Structure 1
Amino acid sequence: MSVESLERQARNYLSNNVPQIQEHGGHFEIEDADTESGEVTVAIGGACSGCGIAPMTMKAIKHRLPTEVDDISKVTVRRAGGPRAAVMPSMIDEMEEMEEYEDYDPAF
Structure 2
Amino acid sequence: MSAESLERETRSYLSNNVPQIQEHGGFFEIQDIDEETGEVTVAIGGACSGCGIAPMTMNAIKHRLPDELEEISKVNVIRAGGPRAAVMPTKTEDMEEMEEYEDYSPPF
Q: Which TM-score applies when normalising by structure 2?
A: 0.89
Q: Deviations over 1:51-103 (max 9, x none)?
A: 11111111111111111111100000101110122545445564344221132
Structure 2: give runs of 5+ residues left out of the alignment.
none
Query: Deviation digits for residues 27-72 of structure 1, max 9, x if unmatched?
Result: 0000111111000000000111221111111111111111111110
1:70 aligns with 2:70: yes
User: Which residue in 1 is equivalent to 2:41?
Assistant: 41
Q: Structure 1: any 5+ residue segments left out of the alignment? A: none
Measured after TM superposition, the shift of residue 7 of structure 1 is: 0.4
Contact 1:49 1:85 in 2 (8 A): yes
Percentage of matched positions with identical amino acids:
79
- Runs of 4+ in structure 1 deviating by more than 6 angstroms, as ranges, are none
Q: Distance in 2 between matches of 1:18 and 1:25?
A: 13
What is the RMSD of the two structures over their aligned residues, measured on CA atoms? 1.5
TM-score after normalising by structure 1:
0.89
Is contact 1:49-1:84 (8 Å) kept?
A: no
**Matched length:** 108
1:75 & 1:91 partners in 2: Cα distance?
A: 23
Aligned pair in 2 of structure 1 residues 53, 76: CA closer, same or farther (>3 Å)? same
Q: Distance in 2 between matches of 1:91 and 1:37?
A: 33
Q: 1:88 to 1:74 in 2, by over 3 A?
A: farther
Counterpart Cα distance in 1 of 2:68 and 2:91: 27
- Contact 1:25 1:48 (C-alpha < 8 Å) held by counterparts: yes
Q: Is the 8 A contact 1:79 1:86 kept in 2?
A: no
Cα 1:92–1:52, aligned 2, differ >3 Å: closer, same or farther? closer
